[in-house]
Structure 1
Amino acid sequence: MRKIAWIIAAALGLSLAACGGGGGSSNSSSTANTPTNTNTNSNTNTPLTVGTTAPGALAADASAVPTAVGPGNTMSVTVTGTSLHNQPMVTIKLCTPGTTGTAACSTIPNVLVDTGSYGLRLVRSAIPDATFNTLTADTVSGQPLAECALFGSGYTWGTVRNAGLVLSGEIANTVPIQVIGDAALTTAAPSECQVGRAMATASDIGANGILGLGVSPNDCGSPCAVSALSTHYYTYSGTPTKAPVLNQVTNPVTLFAQDNNGVILEMGQVGDMGSASAQGTLVFGIDTQANNALAGTSATLISTDINGDFTSTYNGVRQSNTFFDSGSTVMFFPDSTITRDFSSSYYVPTSTVGRTITLSATSPSSVTLGFNIANAQTLNATSNNAFNDIGVYMTGQFDFGLPFFFGRHVYYGISGKSSTGGGMGPYVAYTSS
């Protein structure tokens, strides 16, 4: 994830803590995405009205239907009542490395699908001992690697181990992953890593792990290969060290035999007041099989940088840090015309409002996208778990979190990989019907 922000909104009774954006990559900054509250009003039950809610027609909900689960390049994705709303979860199979997914395998549920980060991170307690004991330490010059992964309001600290990973019919035979809270790492996280709170358990993260499937093939790249960068890779003693690309925590899709050039996250639409659950499909590969076509779909195609960022214009302001991130449970964006609760920065308009944003795309050259924002307090009162119209005020970026994904097929073309419809990655694309 680019960042994780846990927004505590006790006054609203909200359990809608937001989780988004990526860490552990030298390719991106690690600025926090927790909204800054500058209002000193002590009445935490009173929403802060900033400006006047501007008029805007409500956007029609996207209506694309997920691809059927069944073929070996597909996985079921579910949003249900976990500790956080809007968390798309999959079940993975972890095995002994180098055994083509056949030895000492364990099934691990509730792993977050995060298109804003790269590589698999699991908490140690979620890995059964029979499998964990077969995961070999990832070593450089004879020294086992540890990793610090920074997120917006916290960090993970753990070992780097080699594992076999099975995702439906796809196999990453040997892939470096981060094991958070591995007892083999007795050294505390270095001080430069301890930014925000420690995320060391499943309850801290809200999941058993994070499956990073964004546009980068690894979580750092050449910068970590040529220099020992703090807040990235370490020896077990806590000393920064270089990490060759092959030893870095790796986007497992790049290691598949065939469907290795990207992924498509497809979520079914939900009601405007939310739904108790939501279903979707994770499809591996782009233009490699009949069920993952991009070519000929008339999808909106957007070239991105290595972090998946592109440019948009919202309310006349250029937003250079715009991205699609399934690991964010809400839409994070700056709009002072929508009423928001000052204690949490959740938008709480009296009635649902519609907004539009212009995306700087590749094909077509630009596109206007509509979306809606409802009252977060009202949504939470429904006790639903999946919402397509919930947002949080934040400056400096436009983060299309999971609300954007409902009713869409969202494509991620991995950097250095090509497809017929997308060309050379990195790129993102989407269809809404």
Structure 2
Amino acid sequence: MRKCMPFAAVVGLIFLVGCGGGGGTPVGVPVTVGVSPSLPQFIHAGDSVSITATTSGDPTNAGVTWNLSGLGTLTNQTKTSATYNAPGNITSNVVALVTATAVADSTASGPLLMSVLVPGQENVHPITVDGGPVATQIYPNGVFTSVTVCVPSTSDCQTIDGVLVDTGSYGLRLLSSQVGVALPQLVDSNNNGLNDCVAFVDTSFLWGPVVQADIITSGEIATATSVHLVSSSNTGIPDNCSNGGINENTPESLGANGILGVGPEPNDCGFACDPSAGGVPPEPVYYLCSPSGACSPAFVPVDQQVTNPVAFFPVDNNGDIMDLPPVPGTAAGVDGSLTFGIGTAANNGLGAAKLFTFDPNSLSFTTVYNGISYPDSFIDSGSNGFFFPDASIALCNGGSFYCPPSQLNLSATNKGANGTSDIVSFNVDNATNLFNNNPSDVAFGTLAGPNPVGSFDWGLPFFYGRGVFTAIDGAPAPPGVPAGPFWAY
């Protein structure tokens, strides 16, 4: 229902360096714990890892105790070592966290993240349509996943559930209220912190600092990647960012704990915000904010902008494939997968998929519906229905969805810049009846609504029952695979 429409920065040249923006080690902690290996481990199901722990500042030499959060077992535990045994019967990739805590000081600990992988599925990440992370409300047709973020070059990591997977935006955005690790903010030479503003077409927005993290999804890692940490505060936001809109900085307002933007661009603003490109964008995206809270619009080099993490993976970095099972009516929930890379491994080839290229400037192709061409159309898992203009279909109360008296059997034709054409048949049901008659369901294959901006938005119902490829603009393509951007299905 919402497509991320990134603003762009207007003034200022910045030089960014890392800083400890999220906190630090308290002064006076007498004991520290180090673990080896010191970096996150990527292992296969059934494998084992030997771990050692060392303490410093411990006059008792009492060593550590061990704790495991997640699947697997810990064996051979001593005050200085343990063995992690990965589960052998998993069907999808999982993470586990081993922690060594000092006996002499329970506030001193050393973590080690384990990413446990199914052989042959190292690039496959589980996704689910489950209603979202907020127990008191249902997010219809929201597809969610878990994302692990680590302080760069450490195993100080946290796995965050309930992150919306959005093929219509770019970059990882996490609510700061859900992040417990101290991710360093990017600052300039005068200690002005870099902040990001992203707006949605429904006038809501997200605001907060740009931090760096190592991002882990199954067997993939994007190191030292810029992440948008959405501030929990409603103060200090520039007027031309808020613009009278709603600050979706809580799980209840956003419907998620964050957004994983894996769309067809590598970053959220591109050359329009890069000082080396001489862009002239219409509105600010990035701001430098002084320690006192004064903020000014800023240019940001492309490699320091909030980045689609897929583009930073070492190998499977040219796109992704979202697979969800069919939902002809409604369902209490469905599980699927997000496979990284296109043509980079045995499990991510294009096969017989139809490929639709498009202009990277417009990020859209043409959909013809009812004889009318809509050249600004797009495919977007972050939208929770089919959204298109049709004044003949009755609206529900509130006007967000369609409420026809009976099911409509419709079709539209997608056309790529490369000449590919495909007729898509779809059904539209009365949204009020869908929700009222199926109060426990969260997946709706026939949910649709109006699109006032005059385009065809192929939202999550389009993904049910088909694999949808999203190829990233400018990413290196393996032999036999066209360069992005494109969609294919």
TM-score, normalised via structure 2 length: 0.70
> 2:488 aligns to what SS in structure 1?
strand
CA 1:413/1:213 → structure 2, altered by over 3 Å: closer, same or farther? same
Alignment of 1:179-218 (within 5 A): 179-181=229-231, 188-195=236-243, 196-218=245-267
- For the 8 Å contact 1:163–1:174, the answer to whether it is kept is yes
d(CA) in 2 for partners of 1:361 and 1:155? 31
Structure 2 letter corresponding to 1:162: Q
1:262-273 equivalence runs, <5 A? 262-272=319-329
Partner of 2:36: none
The whole-number CA distance in structure 1 between the counterparts of 2:400 and 2:222 is: 40
Partner of 1:397: 455
Query: May I ask how many residue pairs the two structures share in their alignment?
Result: 361
Q: CA deviation at 1:363?
A: 6.3
Distance 1:411 1:211 in 2: 16
8 Å contact from structure 2 (residues 402, 450) kept in 1: yes
Is the contact between residue 359 and residue 417 of structure 2 (CA under 8 Å) also seen in structure 1? no
One-letter amino acid of the structure 2 residue matched with residue 234 of structure 1: Y
Question: How far is the alpha carbon of 1:144 from its aligned partner?
Answer: 2.1
Structure 1 residue 161, shift from structure 2 partner: 0.4
Partners of 1:262 and 1:106 in 2: CA distance: 25
Q: Distance in 1 between matches of 2:480 and 2:246?
A: 42
Q: Does 1:406 align with 2:460?
A: no
Is 1:106 aligned with 2:158?
yes
Distance in structure 1 (CA, Å) of the matches to 2:222 and 2:414: 34
Distance 1:328 1:292 in 2: 24
Partner of 2:115: none
CA–CA distance in 2 between the matches of 1:331 and 1:271?
Answer: 14
Match of 1:84 among 139, 142, 150: 139
Q: Does 1:280 align with 2:341?
A: no
**2:168 paired residue number:** 116
Which residue of the partner structure matches residue 226 of structure 2?
176
How far off is 1:204 after superposition?
Answer: 1.3
| In 2: Cα distance, 1:410 partner to 1:419 partner | 19
Structure 2 match to 1:232: 285
The structure, 1 or 2, with the larger RCO (C-alpha pairs under 8 Å, 6+ apart) is: 1
Give secondary structure in 2 for the equivalent of 1:192: helix
- In 2, the alpha carbon distance for the partners of 1:254 and 1:81 equals 28
**3-state SS in 2 of match to 1:246:** helix
Answer whether contact 2:358 2:416 (CA < 8 A) is retained. no
Partner amino acid, structure 2, of 1:207: A
* Other-structure match for 1:302: 356
Report whether the alignment pairs 1:158 with 2:211: no
- The question of whether the paired residues in 1 share the 8 Å contact of 2:5 and 2:198 is answered with yes
* Cα 1:323–1:228 shift into 2, 3 Å: closer
For residue 255 of structure 1, what is the aligned residue in structure 2?
Answer: 312
Q: What amino acid is aligned across from residue 247 of structure 2 in structure 1?
A: A
RMSD between aligned residues = 2.0
| Amino acid paired to 1:137 | Q
The one-letter code sitting in structure 2 at the alignment partner of 1:392 is G
Query: Residues 145 and 277 of structure 1: is their aligned pair in 2 closer, same or farther, counting only changes over 3 Å?
Result: same
Query: What's 2:272 paired with?
Result: 223
Report the Cα distance in structure 2 between the residues aligned to 1:422 and 1:279, rounded to whole angstroms. 28
Distance across 2 between alignment mates of 1:115 and 1:206:
17
- Is the partner of 2:127 in helix, strand or coil? strand
Q: Which residue of 2 aligns with 1:242?
A: 299
Secondary structure of the structure 2 residue equivalent to 1:389: coil
Please list, as runs of the form range in 1=range in 2, the aligned pairs for 1:372-391 lying within 5 A after superposition: 372-381=427-436, 382-383=438-439, 384-391=441-448
Q: Name the counterpart of 1:58.
A: none
Describe the shift of the 1:75–1:181 C-alpha distance in structure 2 as closer, same or farther (beyond 3 A).
Answer: same
| Superposition TM-score, scaled by structure 1 size | 0.79
Once residues 324 and 237 of structure 2 are traced to their aligned partners in structure 1, the CA distance between those partners, rounded to angstroms, is: 37
Offset at residue 308 of structure 1 (A): 3.1
Tell me by how many angstroms 1:317 deviates: 1.0
Q: Deviations over 1:143-183 (max 9, x none)?
A: 32011111122111100000111000100111001111167
Gaps of 5+ in 2: 10-90, 94-117, 133-137
What's 1:313 paired with? 368
**CA displacement, residues 113-168 of structure 1 (integer Å, 9 cap, x when unaligned):** 0000000000011111xx1x2x1111344432011111122111100000111000
C-alpha distance in 2 between matches for 1:342 and 1:81: 22
Shift of 1:421: 5.2
Which range moved further: 213-222 or 74-83?
Answer: 74-83
- % identity of equivalent residues: 38
Distance 1:403 1:380, change over 3 A: same
SS in 1 for 2:2: strand
Instruction: Please say if residues 361 and 367 of structure 1, whose CA atoms lie closer than 8 Å, have aligned partners that are also in contact.
Output: no
1:388–1:213 distance in 2 versus 1, CA, 3 Å: same
Over residues 184-231 of structure 1, what are the superposed CA-to-partner deviations in whole Å (9 max), with x where a residue is unaligned? xx9611111113211111211100000000000000011111268643
C-alpha distance in 2, partners of 1:245/1:191?
Answer: 25
Retained in 2: the 8 A contact 1:161–1:178? yes
Partners of 2:419 and 2:254 in 1: how far apart? 38
Of the three residues 371, 379, 386, the one matched with 1:331 is 386
Which residue identity is paired with 1:278?
V
- The letter for the 1-side match of 2:286 is Y
Mapped to 1, the partners of 2:179 and 2:481 lie a distance apart of 37
Query: Where does structure 1 lack aligned partners over 5 or more consecutive residues?
Result: 1-18, 28-66
Q: Match for residue 424 of structure 2?
A: 369
Q: What's the CA shift string for 1:305-349, capped at 9, x where partnerless?
A: 335311121111110111110000111101122222253242112
Q: Could you tell me which residue of structure 1 aligns to residue 186 of structure 2?
A: 138
In structure 2, what is the Cα distance between the partners aligned to 1:319 and 1:239?
37
